[in-house]
Amino acid sequence: MAEPLLVLTGLTKRYPTGDLALDGVDLAVPRGQVMALIGPSGAGKSTLIRCVNRLVEPTAGSVRLEGQELTRLSRAALRRARRRMGMIFQEYALVERLSVMENVLSGRLGYVGFWQAWFRRFPRRDIEQAFRLLDRVGLAHMADKRADALSGGQRQRVGILRALMQEPALLLVDEPTASLDPKTSRQIMRLIVELCEERGLAAIINIHDVGLAQEFARRIVGLRAGRIVFDGPPEALDAAVLTAIYGEEDWSRTIRRSDQEEDMAEAAA
Amino acid sequence: MAVINRPGQPPLWKRRSTVQDLLVWLGWLAAVALTVACFQFISERTIWAFVWDAPRQGADLVGRMFPPAWGYADQLWKPLWDTINIATLGTALAVLLGVPLAFLAAHNTTPSVVFVRPLALFIIVASRSINSLIWALILVIILGPGVLAGILAIALRSLGFIGKLLYEAIEEIDRTQVEALESTGANPAQVLSWAIVPQVMPAFAGITVFRWDINIREATVLGLVGAGGIGMQLEASINTLAWPQVTTIFLLILATVAVSEWLSARVRHAII
Amino acid sequence: MSATTFDAAAAARRWRPPPLIASPLLRYAVYLGALAYALLALGSIEVNWTRAAEGLDRAAAFLSGFFPPDFVTKWEDIQEGLLESVTMTIVSTAAGILLSLPIALGAARNLAPLPVYLFCRAIIAISRTFQEVIIAIIFVAMVGFGPLAGMLTLAFATLGFMAKLLAEDIEDIERAQAEAVRATGAGWFSWIAWSVLPQVKPRLIGLSAYRLDINFRESAVLGLVGAGGIGDTLNTAFDRYEFGTAAAVLLIIIAIVLACEYASGMIRRWVQ
The span from the first CA to the last CA of chain C, in angstroms, equals: 52
- Nearest CA to CA, how far is C223 from chain B (Å)? 11
Task: Report pLDDT for B164.
Answer: 92
Chains near B, with 3+ CB pairs < 8 A? Answer: A, C
Average pLDDT estimate for C150-160? 91
- Residue B199 is nearest to which of A83, A97, A159, comparing CB atoms? A97
CB contact under 8 A, B250 and C134: yes
Q: How far apart are CA A7 and CA A29, in angstroms?
A: 6
Residue B181 in contact with residue B194, Cβ under 8 Å?
yes
Residue A20 belongs to a domain with what CATH number?
3.40.50.300
Task: Domain ranges for chain B, please list them.
Answer: 2-46, 71-271
Whole-number Å distance between alpha carbons of A100 and A131? 11
| Chains in touch with C (≥3 Cβ pairs < 8 A) | A, B
Contact A105, A71 (CB under 8 A): no
DSSP for residue C171: H
On average, the pLDDT of chain A sits at 88
- Residue C104: per-residue pLDDT: 87
What residue in A sits closest to C1 (Cα-Cα)?
A138
Q: Touching A: which chains, 3+ CB pairs < 8 A?
A: B, C
Which chain C positions have a beta carbon within 8 Å of B165's beta carbon? none
Residues in chain A, overall count: 269
- What distance in Å separates the CA atoms of residue B17 and residue B204, rounded to the nearest whole number? 47
The rounded average pLDDT for each run of 10 residues, N- to C-terminus, in chain B (272 residues) is 62 69 87 87 79 80 81 84 92 94 90 89 88 88 86 94 92 91 92 92 89 91 87 87 87 89 83 67
Taking one residue from A and the other from B, the number of pairs with CB-CB distance under 8 angstroms is: 83
Q: What is the ipTM of this complex?
A: 0.85
Give the three-state DSSP class for C44. Answer: coil
Provide φ and ψ at A202, rounded to 5°: -90, 155
pLDDT of residue A258 exceeding 60, the answer is no
Q: Which of B31, B54, B89 sits opposite C142 (nearest CB)?
A: B54
Nearest chain B residue (CA) to A102: B194
Q: Per-residue DSSP letters for A168-206?
A: -SEEEEE-TTTTS-HHHHHHHHHHHHHHHHHHT-EEEEE
> Which residues of chain A lie closer than 8 angstroms to C15, CB-CB?
101, 127, 131, 143
**For residue A42, what pLDDT band results from cuts at 50, 70 and 90?**
confident
CA C230 from centroid of its chain's CA atoms: 19
Angle C24-43/B77-105 helices, nearest 10 degrees?
Answer: 110
Say yes or no: B234 contacts chain C, CB-CB below 8 A: yes
Looking at residue B14, its pLDDT comes to: 63
Residue C2 has pLDDT above 50, yes or no: no
**Interface check B83 vs C, CB under 8 A:** no
Q: Do B89 and C62 touch (CB under 8 A)?
A: no
Position A37 pLDDT exceeds 50: yes
- Overall number of domains in chain A: 1
Averaged pLDDT, C127-134:
86
SS3 (DSSP) at A233 = coil
* Model pLDDT, residue B43: 80
- 8 A C-beta contact, residue B182 and residue B117: no
Nearest CA in chain A to C15: A127
C68 upstream amide cis, omega within 30 of 0: yes
Residue C1 confidence (pLDDT) above 50? no
Q: What is the mean pLDDT of residues C85-111?
A: 87
Q: What pLDDT, in 10s, does the model give residues A3-13?
A: 889 999 999 99
Closest approach of C144 to chain B, Cα-based (Å): 6
What single string gives the DSSP state of each residue in C87-148?
Answer: HHHHHHHHHHHHHHHHHHHHT-TTTS-HHHHHHHHHHHHHHHHS-HHHHHHHHHHHH-SSHH
What span, in angstroms and rounded, lies between the C-alpha atoms of B97 and B89? 12
Mean pLDDT (whole number) for C49-68 = 79
Per CB-CB distance under 8 Å, the chain A contacts of B174 are: 93
Mean pLDDT for chain B?
A: 86
Asked if the Cβ–Cβ distance from A128 to C2 is below 8 Å, we say no
Residue C272 pLDDT greater than 70, yes or no = no
Say if residue A36's pLDDT is above 80: yes
Rounded (to 5) percent helix, strand, coil in chain C: 80, 0, 20
* Choice among A63-72, A182-191, C247-256 with the minimum mean pLDDT: C247-256
Q: What is the DSSP letter of A28?
A: E
**Which are the contacts of C43, defined by CB distance < 8 A and separation ≥ 6?**
none
Cβ contact A104:A162 at 8 Å: yes
Hey, are the CB atoms on A93 and B176 less than 8 Å from each other?
yes
User: Nearest by CB to C220, which of B46, B128, B131?
Assistant: B131
Which pLDDT value is given to residue C181? 63
Nearest CA in chain B to A86: B184
Minimal CA separation from C183 to chain B, in Å: 23
Give the minimum alpha-carbon distance from B188 to chain C in angstroms, rounded to a whole number. 22
Residue ranges and CATH numbers for the domains of chain C are 78-271 (1.10.3720.10)
Mean pLDDT, rounded, for A199-203: 92
Question: Best residue in C221, C243, C271 to probe B by mutation, most B CBs within 10 Å?
Answer: C221
Q: Report if residue A130 sits inside a domain.
A: no
Confidence of residue A49 (pLDDT cuts 50, 70, 90): very high
What was the pLDDT predicted at B102? Answer: 94
- Nearest-CB residue to C2 (from A102, A129, A135): A135
C-alpha closest to that of B156 among B101, B99, B97: B97
Confidence of residue C15 (pLDDT cuts 50, 70, 90): confident
CA nearest A131: which of A141, A120, A121, A140? A140
* Chain A residues in contact with chain C using a Cβ-Cβ cutoff of 8 Å: 99, 101-102, 119-120, 124, 127-132, 135-138, 140, 143-144
Q: Chain C residues with CB inside 8 Å of B51's CB? A: 143-144, 148
Residue A206, pLDDT score: 93
In A, minimum Cα distance to B173 occurs at A95
- Hey, is A6 helix, strand or coil? strand
Burial C152-181 (b: 16+ CB within 10 A, else e): bbbbbbbbbbbbbbbbebbeebeeeebeeb
Q: What architecture does CATH give domain B71-271?
A: Orthogonal Bundle (1.10)
What's the rounded mean pLDDT across residues A113-119?
89
Between C6, C12, C17, which is nearest A124 by CB? C12
CB-CB neighbors (< 8 A) of A117 in chain C:
none
For the cut 80, the answer to whether the pLDDT of residue A52 exceeds it is yes
Closest chain B residue to A108 measured between Cα atoms?
B184
Q: Nearest by CB to C11, from A102, A119, A140: name it.
A: A140
Nearest chain B residue to C57, by CA = B142
Q: Mark yes or no for CB contact A95/B193 under 8 Å.
A: no
pLDDT-derived band of residue A269, with 50, 70 and 90 as boundaries?
A: very low
Task: Please give the full DSSP string across chain B, using - where no structure is assigned.
Answer: -EEE--TTSPPEEESS-HHHHHHHHHHHHHHHHHHHHHHHHHHHTS-HHHHHTHHHHHHHHHHHH-S--GGGGGGGHHHHHHHHHHHHHHHHHHHHHHHHHHHHHSTTT-S-TTTHHHHHHHHHHHHHHS-HHHHHHHHHHHH-SSHHHHHHHHHHHHHHHHHHHHHHHHHTS-HHHHHHHHTTT--HHHHIIIIIHHHHHHHHHHHHHHHHHHHHHHHHHHGGGT-SSHHHHHHHHHHTT-HHHHHHHHHHHHHHHHHHHHHHHHHHHHH-
pLDDT, tens digit (0-9, with 9 covering 90-100), for B20-77? 888 888 888 988 888 888 888 888 777 777 778 878 878 888 888 788 878 777 888 8
pLDDT the model gives residue B19:
80
| Cβ-nearest to B180 among A81, A87, A117 | A87
Smallest Cα distance from B186 to chain A, Å = 5
Residue A57's domain comprises: 1-30+37-81+208-269
Residues 168-227, chain B: which have Cβ within 8 Å of C? Answer: 217-218, 220-221, 224-225
| Rg of the Cα atoms in chain B | 26
d(CA A15, CA B213): 47
Q: What is the DSSP letter of A218?
A: S
Name residues whose C-beta falls within 8 Å of residue B119's C-beta, 6 or more positions apart in sequence: B104
Cβ distance C18 to A127 less than 8 Å, yes or no, reads no
Chain B, 38-67: which have a CB under 8 Å from a chain C CB?
A: 38-39, 41-43, 45-47, 50-51, 54, 57-58, 61
> How far apart (Å, rounded) are the C-alpha atoms in residues C223 and C235?
7
What count of other Cβ atoms lies within 10 Å of the Cβ of residue A196? Answer: 21
Using a 10 angstrom Cβ sphere, with 0-12 exposed, 13-18 middle and 19 or more buried, the burial of residue C268 is middle
Nearest chain A residue to B186 by CA distance is A110
- What is the arithmetic mean of pLDDT over C197-211? 80
C42 by Cβ neighbours in 10 Å (0-12 / 13-18 / 19+) ranks as: exposed
Contacts of C254 (CB under 8 A, 6+ apart): B125, B126, B129, B130
Residues of C with Cβ-Cβ distance to B130 under 8 angstroms: 250, 253-254
CB contact under 8 A, A114 and B187: yes
The whole-number average pLDDT for the span A81-88 is 93
State which amino acid sits at residue B68.
P
Instruction: Report the pLDDT averaged over residues C111-138.
Output: 86
Instruction: Give A65 or C59, the one with higher predicted confidence.
Output: A65
Distance from CA of A91 to the nearest CA of C (A): 25
CB contact under 8 A, B89 and C41: yes
**Chain A interface includes C19 (CB < 8 A):** no
Q: What are phi and psi of A96, to 5 degrees?
A: -65, -25
| Predicted local distance difference test score (pLDDT) of residue A222 | 92
Q: Is the pLDDT of residue A268 over 70?
A: no
Among the listed residues A150, A172, A145, the one whose alpha carbon sits nearest the alpha carbon of residue A160: A172
With beta carbons under 8 A apart, name residues in chain A contacting B179. Answer: 55, 89, 93
